[in-house]
Amino acid sequence: MTPFLACPPLLGFLPPAMLAVLSAEQINRMLESLERNLLTPIPLCFVLGIVCTRIHGGIKIPKELYLSIAIFLLMSIGFVGGHELAHEYQAHGVSTIWKPALATLFLGCVTPITSFVVLRYLGRLSIADSAGIAAHYGSTSAVTYAVANSFVEQTQHPANSFLPTLVTILECPGIAIALVLGAALMARERAAKAGGGRAREGKLGEALYEVMTGQSIMLMAGLLVIGFISTMFMTEQAFQPFYDFFQSKGMLFRGALCIFLLEMGLVAGERLGDLLKVGPFLVAFGIGIALVHGFLGAYFGHLAGLNLGGCTVLAAIVSSASYIAAPPAVRLTLPEANPTLSITAALAITFPFNIAFGIPIYYEMAKWLGAT
Amino acid sequence: MQLYPLKLVTVVGEGVIMTDIAEEAMKLGATGFSITEVNGHGSRSARNVIETGGAKTLKAEFVVPMDVAERILTHVSHEYFEHYACIAWLSDVQVVRGQQYIS
């Protein structure tokens, strides 16, 4: 429960800052929104998972079930995304798509750099640690997308239909940039130290290749292309059964998310002990950088013409950190990076924060920025 | 029954490096390998990839003659011991029809 305990001191700094910008009524609405978000099945299942680990309870989700749901979620995101992208393309050509896509690509390239700078120069972390953590924050969490999407649908402000495309765009560039940055800076540091350390040739290329061809990206991007092509060349009736399976009016998807979040709660709960090891700076970083990146996402999303739901979801995915695709890539390229820091930040700080507080906050941010 | 004395090299470590180690061992003279998923905990326990995400601790085993065993162990200790959670050990085995495992 420590992330939630860490919040009050941090939130202690926020209200004065917020009061300067928001009216009391808006803050009230935000608190209502937070309350509404927390008391729904998906975050509550996450909390259940955490509670279970703390009381040494006996919930055990079979690994294969978890992996199967992950595959289903990734395929759904890609497939429905591709389908909607095709519709959008048929209706408007690329006019409504290219700006959000560009904005997302831009954010994907900026977030690893902002993370790195804050970690290295504010947090005084080593190059390897900073780049490793930055690689996580430069990428995204598909689960955060799913939860954010579920939230905006519940508020009757569904996101633009082609949002899954943006999730796919966000996955790779951030990791690549952070790793290249980290490897380059480490090589420079090693050259400066006479004869200290050995270069790790070749692993960067291998790591980048694995990121581009990993399960998450292959399923999302692959099904996106499949959904797109199928929509363009099939009749609505022939396509319907496929669509129903993957979209199923959100029912299968949302139910599966509950099981998934339960498992994530179990995993995050195990890591709560690590929070004490990583120190207050990282806790503050996990929450602070999420808010900053979330704001950037909402801002550029609005600039690119996304609707209220779209801005919220984009904010959520830009602020989220990867904990599936990034860790092995970092491990291969920057083995000096301490894995406890990056995984704890991504999984035990930012992820729970986003699920509980972040998403409703980004929703209010988007509204404040004027999105509709 | 003909039994031939050979060495069993066992390497246990993080999933991300084990496939590389297996390939490199093949290049150093091993004629085959077996990889198993294991559960455990070590002094480093740098298990940064969440278990359910599919990453794991792997154990790789190679049945090789002594010179190849030495090459593999030297290579693994030089390349991986510094930064990765990894352990390697050598044991004696008697292999049925073992002559074919000497490359």
Per-residue model confidence as pLDDT tens digits over A202-214? 577 888 888 888 8
Question: Residue A95 sits in which domain range?
Answer: 61-369
Q: Do B54 and A342 touch (CB under 8 A)?
A: no
| pLDDT score for A4 | 43
Does residue A326 sit within a domain?
A: yes
The alpha-carbon gap from B27 to the nearest alpha carbon of chain A, in Å, equals: 17
Does residue A13 sit within a domain?
A: no
Does residue A259 sit within a domain?
A: yes
Higher pLDDT, B99 or A54: A54
Helix (H, G, I), strand (E, B), or coil: what is residue A155?
A: coil
What would the mean pLDDT of A48-55 be, rounded to a whole number?
92
Per-residue model confidence as pLDDT tens digits over A9-50? 554 555 555 555 667 777 787 777 777 788 888 889 999 999
Q: Which structural domains are found in chain B, ordered by start? A: 3-94 (3.30.70.120)
Relative orientation angle of helices A203-212 and A326-333, to the nearest 10 degrees: 170
The alpha-carbon gap from B63 to the nearest alpha carbon of chain A, in Å, equals: 27
CA distances from A265 to A43, A60, A261 (A): 9, 11, 6
Contacts of A339 in chain B (CB under 8 A): 46-49
- Residue A214's CB: how many other CB atoms inside 10 A? 18
Does residue A304 sit within a domain?
A: yes
- Minimal CA–CA distance to B49: which of A295, A25, A267? A267
Does residue A167 sit within a domain?
A: yes
Q: Give the least confident one: A27-36, A264-273, B79-88.
A: A27-36
- Choosing among B41, B48, B56, which should be mutated to test the A contact, i.e. which has the most A CBs within 10 A? B48
What would the mean pLDDT of B39-52 be, rounded to a whole number?
64
| pTM passes above 0.90 | no
For residue A323, give the nearest of B14, B47, B50 by CB distance. Answer: B50
- Minimal CA–CA distance to A290: which of A102, A136, A127, A122? A136
Q: Average model confidence (pLDDT) for chain A? A: 85
Q: Give the count of domains, chain A.
A: 1
Residue A249 has pLDDT above 80, yes or no: no
The alpha-carbon gap from A347 to the nearest alpha carbon of chain B, in Å, equals: 9
Interface contact B3, partner A, CB < 8 A: no
Residue B41 has pLDDT above 90, yes or no: no
Residue B75 has pLDDT above 90, yes or no: yes
A220's tokens: 């999302």
Report the share of chain B in percent with pLDDT over 90. 54
CATH number of the domain to which A322 belongs: 1.20.1530
Q: Give the least confident one: A24-28, A109-113, A319-323, B82-86.
A: A24-28
What would the mean pLDDT of A157-162 be, rounded to a whole number?
85
What would the mean pLDDT of B50-63 be, rounded to a whole number?
74
Of A178-187, A282-291, B33-42, highest mean pLDDT: A282-291
Q: Do A327 and B55 touch (CB under 8 A)?
A: yes
B58 forms bridges with which residues in the sheet?
Answer: B13, B37
Residue with tokens 């099981």: A259
Q: Do A328 and B84 touch (CB under 8 A)?
A: no
| A142/A214 Cα distance (integer angstroms) | 13
pLDDT band, residue A353 (cuts 50/70/90): very high
Interface contact B43, partner A, CB < 8 A: no
Does residue A292 sit within a domain?
A: yes
| pLDDT score for B45 | 65
Interface pTM, i.e. ipTM:
0.81
